[in-house]
Amino acid sequence: MFITPITPLGQISGLKTIQTEPEKSGNGLPFKEIFTTAIQNLQETEIKSNNNSALIALGAIDDLHTIGIDATKAYLAEKLVVELRNRAMEAYSEIMRINM
């Protein structure tokens, strides 16, 4: 049995170079946009979770695993929004403590 030796790979030409620094096309993603997106996500997941709860109460849904998954998504979205608020308040407090 003959084993072929490992040959070195050539340069891969189809890949783009990895960008290590963010683009300078503005100030990046503003905090307001991040917070708004998180709140919208929270609202959507809570509505879906509430609808699933109503469907299970009516007996119109059979797959319980999706209800658990949607409830967990809503819980995590809520934790994310609360943590974003906490971090924003901590940052504000730190800024206010700076002596000029």
CB count within 10 Å of CB 54 equals: 11
Full-model pTM: 0.62
DSSP structure class, residue 60? -
Whole-number pLDDT of residue 56 = 87
What one-character DSSP code corresponds to residue 82?
H
pLDDT digits (tens, 9 = 90+) for 7-38: 776 665 555 555 555 555 556 678 888 889 99
Question: How far does the chain reach from its first CA to its final CA, in angstroms?
Answer: 78
Residue with tokens 């620094």: 21
Record: fold of 31-97: Helix Hairpins (1.10.287)
> Domain locations in the chain?
31-97
